[in-house]
Structure 1
């Protein structure tokens, strides 16, 4: 397990820094302090290793508990918990660095790597968000006809244009950017509730 963790840690750093195409299994093995054979024995091939890196990273940062629904809790507080966790993660420099690496590979004709991060990242988190919203609807906390569509709306509202600004390097002051992330997430939750609270 220690070797597996070391390989995942090395792969995370190298994929972010060099993108998929620029990262070799030799480099991952060297950084992890293991043989290349050990890397292959744990993960099979580079595609599988990349998928595991994405899955591990997202589960570390957005564990399933983030989307826990308590019918006794205030729905605004529940949504705010999710919103702040999501927005802070999606808009931070490391996450955006990962997206840049994926986009670099897609431009070089490797769209399957973008598909991997979509499946392990966005599809998973949207599924968990849909489950939470459906539970809230079933408990009478929200009134939503199209839960999958509302899930996309929620994720979009809480980030605004902040992730794109980070993508283009337009976040000169980290302190004010962090405040904007929180303000945008809170405003997004309020707007979402204005649309979906039971009348």
Structure 2
């Protein structure tokens, strides 16, 4: 069960960081992030302790604090790492190959795979279960995951507007619409535990229809 304890009420010793100048061990950092992704997903933010994460990563708790400063910073980094793993920044690069429709399908498939993954479903349920005192944690999650993805896709859309391929008066709103359409009812039902992950064929049909709808709204006429 997720606790309603506020991040502000947690021990401030976690906020200490190592002195600058000494290079960090990138292998240990990667191990900590992998452990954090698993434990935050399985146990929730309050259920996963820094001791557990350190033990899972095979490092000392001091090493965890040295790399990430505090639990909130580690959570934010873990969310960002999971998003970058499944929806890398270069996915939105202008070098995406093929016609615009094909590029949008690639992005849509990667996004749906991310939001429908077991880790993402668990994390979103955790966010919904938090109390009002944990609002700062929700903000950390939003900025590390959904906001990053939104901003990158909005920049992608803007580049296509400037190239004359799309006609969009508000690219930020269009980015919101695209991702909301891609999630669709399937994602909401998964969050509520009403259905299992859809088949590959169902996802493909859903994404084809959604990308076509988006292009009907914003393709240059």
Return the TM-score normalized by structure 1: 0.91
Partner of 1:36: 61
RMSD: 1.7
Partner of 1:155: 179
Residues 94-117 of structure 1, C-alpha deviation per residue, up to 9 Å, x if partnerless?
A: 21112112222x236311111111
- The size of the alignment, in residue pairs, is 196
Partner of 2:49: 24
Question: What does 1:156-171 correspond to in 2, within 5 Å?
Answer: 156-171=180-195
Gaps of 5+ in 1: none
Partner of 2:213: 191
Cα distance in 2 for residues equivalent to 1:171 and 1:2: 38
Partner of 1:117: 141
Aligned to 1:11, which of 3, 22, 36?
36
Greater than 4 Å deviation, 4+ residue runs: none
Higher helix share: 1
> CA 1:81/1:72 → structure 2, altered by over 3 Å: closer, same or farther?
closer
Q: Is the 8 A contact 2:83 2:114 kept in 1?
A: no
> CA 1:44/1:70 → structure 2, altered by over 3 Å: closer, same or farther?
closer
Q: Is the 8 A contact 1:9 1:32 kept in 2?
A: yes
Partner of 1:103: 128
Aligned to 2:150, which of 126, 132, 137?
126
Q: Is the 8 A contact 1:91 1:162 kept in 2?
A: no
> CA 1:134/1:69 → structure 2, altered by over 3 Å: closer, same or farther?
same
Residues 155-196 of structure 1, C-alpha deviation per residue, up to 9 Å, x if partnerless?
A: 111221111111112224x4x533222221111100011111
Return the TM-score normalized by structure 2: 0.83
Residues 6-41 of structure 1, C-alpha deviation per residue, up to 9 Å, x if partnerless?
A: 111111111111111111111111111211111111
